[in-house]
Amino acid sequence: MVGQGIVFANTEYEQPISYLFTGLNQIKPVMLEEATQNARQAATEFAKNSQAVVGKIRKANQGVFSILPQDAAPGVSETAQIDKTVRVVSTVEYFLE
């Protein structure tokens, strides 16, 4: 509703408005795909320096997804900020040939 020009004020309420991100399941597959592609690119660069070739995935860990405010705002609660950044740090091990 904020995007439609409706302004919320929390002066009359004890609890401030909270903005929660609930779409993680919709974006998770794409994020994991991108993380795996980025891991392969990094592994390829490491392999070049040792004259090796990156093989199949040996082991992979999806890691933890973090949902944080898009911008740092000291003194403002994370849930009070509408714009969020979603991040995942994955660990991927490859066989080298």
Q: Which two tokens stand for residue 21?
A: 């991100």
Using alpha carbons, list the distances in angstroms from residue 60 to 47, 75, 95. 18, 37, 12
Q: What local confidence, expressed as pLDDT, does residue 8 receive?
A: 61
Residue type, 9: A
**Neighbouring-strand partners of residue 96:** 54
Q: Which two tokens stand for residue 85?
A: 């950044």
Provide block-wise average pLDDT over 10 residues at a time, the chain (97 residues). 61 72 93 94 93 95 90 82 90 94
- Give CA–CA dist 85/66, Å, rounded: 8
Q: What local confidence, expressed as pLDDT, does residue 11 receive?
A: 59
Q: What local confidence, expressed as pLDDT, does residue 6 receive?
A: 64
Q: What local confidence, expressed as pLDDT, does residue 33 receive?
A: 93
- Give CA–CA dist 90/31, Å, rounded: 10
Give the angle subtended at the CA of 14 by the CAs of 8 and 85, to the nearest 5°: 55
Tell me the residue ranges of DSSP E strands in 30-71: 54-61, 65-69
0.85 exceeded by pTM: no
